[in-house]
Amino acid sequence: MRPVQRRQQGLQYGIYLLCMQALNFGIDKIPPATLITIIAQVLLYVGLIKVPWNAEEVCISSIKVFKYRDWNSFLISNFEHGSDMHLYYNMVSLILKGSYLEPMYGTMNFVILLAILSLGCSAMYVSLGYALMQVTGDFGYYTQCAIGFSAVLFALKVIVVCEEHDRLQDVGGIRVPNKVAVWVELILIHLLVPQSSLIGHLGGILVGCLYCYTFIGEMVDNITYTITGIPIIHEEQFYRRRSSFFR
């Protein structure tokens, strides 16, 4: 999402809704890393975690990274949010995806995966912005600034789809095969929320595809295993998709 305002202090309606959703889901059912990630982003948004920047100051763009070497935005932009409702929708999505993947992969493996996906989404965002500027001649792609966890969530959604058996999903009231659901969601969000970052969401999908369908995913799994000593075990269809992608 493009940053449109400074972080507001205190409790807002979106935070209240998020608390209600978490209670309805069951706090005890949310895995620890997922819960801590949500709490940390909420505390960051409301200002209880004191940081020496404002949300809009760490929005990420190609020009900030490539020209000005702004590594703060590269590392931090995924964890800031532009509004309470932006935070609400992202954290509800994280509850669902984290509750599915974290128990399957293991808590420490999931933490490392989130960190790698965050870095990958930032790298993909600035790369897409630069590439689109070169192809179209539109300098706006190079300077477009965004914040939020949405790109990482799109990457996680691709991974969830790869772990699941083929089935139909409901996306905005439309029943579609799960292998195309993420692309339908990308289009719907862009149409319904024009201020959202299409480049960021697309970048998240591409990062998820790299993990699911290429040797990069195997490298990531090997890194996590080296650090934690616990392998990431995927469902059988995940391995089939990864092995058959380039056939």
User: Catalytic positions, please?
Assistant: 150, 201
Q: In sequence order, which residues have a C-beta less than 8 Å from that of residue 94 and are 6 or more positions away?
A: 34, 37, 38, 149, 153, 156
Give CA–CA dist 204/34, Å, rounded.
18
**Residue owning tokens 């990062």:** 207
Q: In sequence order, which residues have a C-beta less than 8 Å from that of residue 208 and are 6 or more positions away?
A: 117, 154, 155, 156, 157, 158, 159, 162, 182
The sign of the torsion formed by the CA atoms of 219, 224, 226, 232 equals negative
